[in-house]
Copies of this chain bind each other. A is one copy, B any other.
Amino acid sequence: MRTAKLSLVLRQLRDHGPRSRARLATELGLTRTAVSALVAELADLGLVRAAGVERGGMGRPGTSVELDGAAVCGIGAEINVNHVAVIALDLAGNVVAEHRIALEAHKLAVDEVLDRLVELIERTDDDVRASGAHTIGVTVGVAGLLDRPREVLTVGPNLRWRDVPVGSELRARLGAAYPVSIENEGNLAAIAEAVPGDPNRQDILVIFGEVGVGGGIVAAGRLLRGHQGYAGEFGHMIVEPGGRRCGCGRVGCWETVCGLRALLDGAADPDDPMRDPALSLDERLAELNRRADLGDTRTIAALDAVGNWIGIGAAMLTNALNPSAIVLSGYFAEIGHHMRPAIEEHLLAGVLAPQAGGTRVEFSTLGFTAAVRGGAAVALEPVFDDPTLVAPPRAAALLGGDR
């Protein structure tokens, strides 16, 4: 059907960048005629536009076609312990708007947090409209266990939420102007790291570390959600029976040995000035980096200890999943370069496949925008599945113009 081929062309442009109609035809196994018609339709929908010429040896040069972000945006949002954040990305992945407010979610009522987030989402939607585009959907990531079939946050230990029907609450506030979907925060961060079209970013394991440790799995380019949406809770794998007590109430969870608290406990005594609660996370990490750079033995030992544990857990997951890369995100990304030797040592030692099955250790460059970026990507996905979804407003305009 037409939808399927439009989708094919649009994805090819997203995954491999601008290219001529003729190249699209040969790469996708279609005729130049068909591609011309498809591109014309996508251009009518406002999803692609001409992008200069493509010189390639002999013959007439082709006119390059590229994604046009001007028509639609996806909005990604995040409810986390210390902040709520929203981002709008256009079809080409450009940031159109970005908002973020700090708040202590566990000190506020659930309703209030949701209200503040909705306010931010609506402001972002206003920005999108001011740019001339329209919002195609919103995806909200929450820090906690999310029952996807019911769209209920079952347990959010750090938010101190229980059984909150986030999906229906948000939809009630936002109305039906655009679809709203809910995801786990770690899973959204994983999607953000999976670059469409890059063969080395189709099977990845994202481990996101702050106080808690979570993450997500992307396999064959698709997010692995699990049966009820609980996949990716790496932080609560029990790796040290009889070890430290975890915030979840159990003992020996992975995050008790590689979460931020474990690092701080190992690197500094309670009376160390670095542990002043007034300091922000970034400031503490900067101080740790400084000490490590100066060769402070205690800091380095603490980083090694945490790195060892990261490697042990990563090796287990690598035996099971054989990803092409393990992407370390969150605080790991800020300070992980000091842990790389320890991580890689245990990864090589703990994975059966030679050379750790080709799995590489990488660090995220998305900072703390990973989850919202992933959310925006999820919100845009339906457009790539069926580009005609963006039609309604435009069809109305055309009808009006024809009369």
Contact = CB atoms under 8 A, between A and B. Distances in A.
Nearest to A248: B352
| Contact count band on A | 35 or more
A284 B358 CA distance: 39
A328 to B, nearest CB: 16
A347 to B, nearest CB: 11
Interface stretch (A77-85, A133-141, A266-274, A311-319): A311-319
A321 interface: yes
Nearest to A236: B352
B228 A358 contact: yes
A220 B228 CA distance: 11
Given A217-B320, A232-B320, A322-B230, A312 B353 contact: no
A114 B130 CA distance: 68
Nearest to A155: B354
A352 B4 CA distance: 40
B145 A229 contact: no
A319 B234 contact: yes
B155 A227 contact: no
Contacts of A312: 238, 241
Contact of A236 (B229, B230, B319): B319
Contacts of A170: none
Interface in A289-320: 312, 315-317, 319-320
* Copies held by the complex: 2
A225, A234, A322: most-surrounded residue (chain B CB, <10 A): A322
A28 to B, nearest CB: 13
A74 interface: no
Contact of A321 (B202, B226, B350): B226
A224 interface: yes
A1, A222, A238: most-surrounded residue (chain B CB, <10 A): A238
A219 B224 contact: yes
Contacts of A66: none
A231 interface: yes
Interface in A342-379: 349-354, 357-359
A136 to B, nearest CB: 22
A227 B358 contact: yes
A226 B203 contact: yes
A250 interface: yes
B217 A220 contact: no
Contacts of A256: none
Given A4-B4, A233-B319, A238-B312, 19 more contacts: A217-B320, A226-B322, A227-B322, A230-B353, A230-B357, A231-B321, A232-B320, A233-B320, A233-B322, A233-B352, A234-B320, A236-B319, A237-B316, A238-B350, A239-B316, A250-B349, A316-B316, A317-B320, A320-B320
Interface of A: 1, 4, 145, 154-155, 202-203, 217, 219-220, 222, 224-239, 241, 248, 250, 312, 315-317, 319-324, 349-354, 357-359
